[in-house]
Amino acid sequence: MKKKPTFLTRRTFIKTSSILLTAASLPNTLFARTDDKKLGVALVGLGNYASEQLAPALLETQNCYLAGIVTGTKSKEKIWQEKYNIPDKNVYNYANFDDIVNNDNIDIVYIVLPNSMHAEYSIRAAKAGKHVISEKPMAISTAECQQVIDTCKALQVKLGVGYRLHYEPFNREMIRLGQKRIYGPVNSIDADFSFNMNDRTQWRANKKYAGGGPLMDLGIYCLQGAIYSLGELPISVSARDTTLNKANWQSVEGSLEWTMKFESGAVANCRSSYEKELVNHLLVKTEKHSYGLNQAYLFDQLAGFTPAGDMNFPTVNQQALQMDDFANSVRYDLPVLPCGEMGLRDMFIVEKIYESIAAGGKDISLAGMPQVLDKVL
Ligand code: NAD
At 56-94, the pLDDT tens digits run: 999 999 999 999 999 999 999 999 999 999 999 999 999
Is 114:48 a contact under the CB 8 Å cutoff? Answer: no
Between CA 203 and CA 226 the distance in angstroms is 27
| Domain presence at residue 300 | no
The pLDDT tens digits of the residues spanning 192-238 come to: 999 999 999 999 999 999 999 999 999 999 999 999 999 999 999 99
Between CA 342 and CA 224 the distance in angstroms is 9
Strands, E assignment, the chain:
12-14, 18-22, 39-44, 64-70, 91-92, 108-111, 131-134, 159-161, 186-196, 234-241, 255-262, 267-273, 275-286, 290-295, 303-306, 309-310, 364-365, 371-375
Is 126:155 a contact under the CB 8 Å cutoff? Answer: yes
Separation of CA 267 and ligand 1 centre (Å) = 32
| Domain presence at residue 155 | yes
Tell me, what's the pLDDT at 34?
A: 54
147: CB partners within 8 A, 6+ apart: 119, 123, 139
Query: Using CA positions, which residue lies closest to atom 5 of ligand 1?
Result: 47
Question: Which residue among 65, 110, 121, 136 is the active-site one?
Answer: 136
Query: Using CA positions, which residue lies closest to atom 8 of ligand 1?
Result: 47
- Is 207 marked active-site? no
- Is 4 marked active-site? no
| Domain presence at residue 187 | no
Tell me, what's the pLDDT at 376?
A: 80
CB atoms within 10 A of CB 89: 11
Tell me, what's the pLDDT at 5?
A: 31
Query: Using CA positions, which residue lies closest to atom 12 of ligand 1?
Result: 45
Tell me, what's the pLDDT at 375?
A: 84
Tell me, what's the pLDDT at 35?
A: 55
Tell me, what's the pLDDT at 90?
A: 98
Tell me, what's the pLDDT at 36?
A: 72
| Domain presence at residue 51 | yes
CA torsion through residues 119, 124, 129, 135, sign: negative
For a substitution probing ligand 1, which of 74, 92, 113 has the most ligand atoms within 8 Å of its CB? 113
Separation of CA 110 and ligand 1 centre (Å) = 12
In 3D space, the residue among 160, 106, 215 whose CA is nearest the CA of residue 342 turns out to be: 160
Which DSSP symbol is given to 243? -
Which positions of the chain have pLDDT values less than 50? Answer: 1-26, 28-30, 32
Between CA 61 and CA 29 the distance in angstroms is 10
Dihedral through CA 74, CA 105, CA 55, CA 35, nearest 10? -160
Question: Quick check: CB of 164 below 6 Å from ligand 1?
Answer: yes
Between CA 15 and CA 20 the distance in angstroms is 8
75: CB partners within 8 A, 6+ apart: none
- Residue 186, CB-side half-sphere exposure with 13 Å CA sphere: 31
Q: What is the 3-state secondary structure (H, E, C) of 89-152?
A: HHEECCCCHHHHHHCCCCCEEEECCCHHHHHHHHHHHHHCCCEEEECCCCCCCHHHHHHHHHHH
| Domain presence at residue 347 | no
| Domain presence at residue 225 | no
Start-to-end C-alpha separation, the chain: 28
Separation of CA 45 and ligand 1 centre (Å) = 7
Question: Quick check: CB of 49 below 6 Å from ligand 1?
Answer: yes
Question: Quick check: CB of 45 below 6 Å from ligand 1?
Answer: yes
Tell me, what's the pLDDT at 119?
A: 98
Tell me, what's the pLDDT at 267?
A: 98
The ligand 1 atom nearest the CA atom of 217 = 34
Question: Quick check: CB of 343 below 6 Å from ligand 1?
Answer: no
In 3D space, the residue among 228, 259, 215 whose CA is nearest the CA of residue 21 turns out to be: 228
| Domain presence at residue 180 | no
Cis peptide before 137 (omega within 30 of 0): yes
Question: Quick check: CB of 47 below 6 Å from ligand 1?
Answer: yes
Is 199:210 a contact under the CB 8 Å cutoff? Answer: no
CATH number for the domain harbouring residue 141 = 3.40.50.720
For a substitution probing ligand 1, which of 112, 163, 299 has the most ligand atoms within 8 Å of its CB? 112
Is 226:260 a contact under the CB 8 Å cutoff? Answer: yes
Round the CA-based radius of gyration of the chain to a whole number and report it. 20
Which residues constitute the domain of residue 132? Answer: 17-164
| Domain presence at residue 23 | yes
The ligand 1 atom nearest the CA atom of 209 = 19
Between CA 286 and CA 184 the distance in angstroms is 6
Buried b (16+ CB within 10 A) or exposed e, 55-64: bbbbeebbbb
State how many domains the chain has: 1
